[in-house]
Amino acid sequence: MSVENAPVVDVDEAAIPVEKKMYYRFESNDKKEFRVSELAIQQSETLNRLVEAMGYTSEDVENKPAIAIENIDGKTLKLVFQWCEHHKGEAIPVDDGSVPKIVEIPEFDAKLMDIDNGLLFKLIWAADYLNIVQLLNVSCKKVANMAQGKTPAQLRRVYLLPSDEEDEAAKRAAQEAQDPRAREVEEEFEERKRQGGNSFF
């Protein structure tokens, strides 16, 4: 895509030089291709550094293969880039590792994240991997909001977590699968106890 055909970017022309308005091509791990504006890419620290390091010209973008993003699928990457395009040019919050106190979910983001939990969790993984701070904030906030007013049993379903009992059963099963002899020894011990034997050894 040439510079002339690029959608109008609604930012101050003086602040963003004309040659900055270029696009990059990315490919998901299931071979879906996306064209993303450079300004949108700036929302992702990881991708921004990558394209800066590559130093592509507009011709390179068209002639060379799309940049592969190995561990994100097309469905998730589509959401990520939709988010980046919508929020391009916005200030990026400084991520100092602390949790921001107040995060509001804008209407656009709420609609974008009106998806099943599996996809939402993938979106969080992607936001973390691509280091998109504000997308990570809103997606984590959305997951947190899902917890409000729920009982522990409901939360287990929402967050796909086992109860203590299920967890213990699973751990026991895993242990037994690993060491069948341990189970046999235990059974033998129980049997001897039942028979009133004083010494096992």
Q: Is 144 in the site for another protein (CB under 8 A)?
A: yes
The contact mask relative to another protein for 97-116 (x = CB under 8 A, - = no) is: x-x---x-------------
Q: Is 156 in the site for another protein (CB under 8 A)?
A: yes
Which position among 5, 151, 195, 198 is part of the footprint of another protein (CB under 8 A)? 151
Which position among 8, 18, 91, 160 is part of the footprint of another protein (CB under 8 A)? 160
Q: Which residues have CB under 8 Å from 102's CB, separation 6+?
A: none
Taking the CA atoms of residue 126, residue 130, residue 135 and residue 140 in that order, the dihedral angle to the nearest 10 degrees is 50
Do residues 66 and 151 lie in contact, with contact meaning Cβ atoms separated by under 8 Å? no
Select 92 or 140, whichever has its Cβ closest to another protein.
140
Select 15 or 153, whichever has its Cβ closest to another protein.
153
Q: Is 167 in the site for another protein (CB under 8 A)?
A: yes
Q: Is 178 in the site for another protein (CB under 8 A)?
A: no
Q: What sign does the CA torsion over 9, 11, 12, 17 have?
A: negative
Q: Is 145 in the site for another protein (CB under 8 A)?
A: yes
Select 168 or 179, whichever has its Cβ closest to another protein.
168
| Parallel, antiparallel or unpaired: strands 33-37 and 23-27 | antiparallel
How far is Cα 135 from Cα 126, in angstroms, rounded to an integer? 9
Number of residues that bind another protein (CB under 8 A): 31
In the chain the first and final C-alpha atoms are separated, in Å, by 80
Q: Helix, strand or coil for residue 29? A: coil
Q: Is 162 in the site for another protein (CB under 8 A)?
A: yes
Closest of 37, 45, 28, 23 to residue 86, by C-alpha: 37
Do residues 55 and 39 lie in contact, with contact meaning Cβ atoms separated by under 8 Å? no
Instruction: Pick the stretch among 33-41, 59-67, 152-160, 193-201 that binds another protein (CB under 8 A).
Output: 152-160
Which positions touch another protein (CB under 8 A)?
Answer: 97, 99, 103, 118, 121-122, 124-125, 128, 136-137, 140-141, 143-145, 147-152, 155-156, 159-164, 167
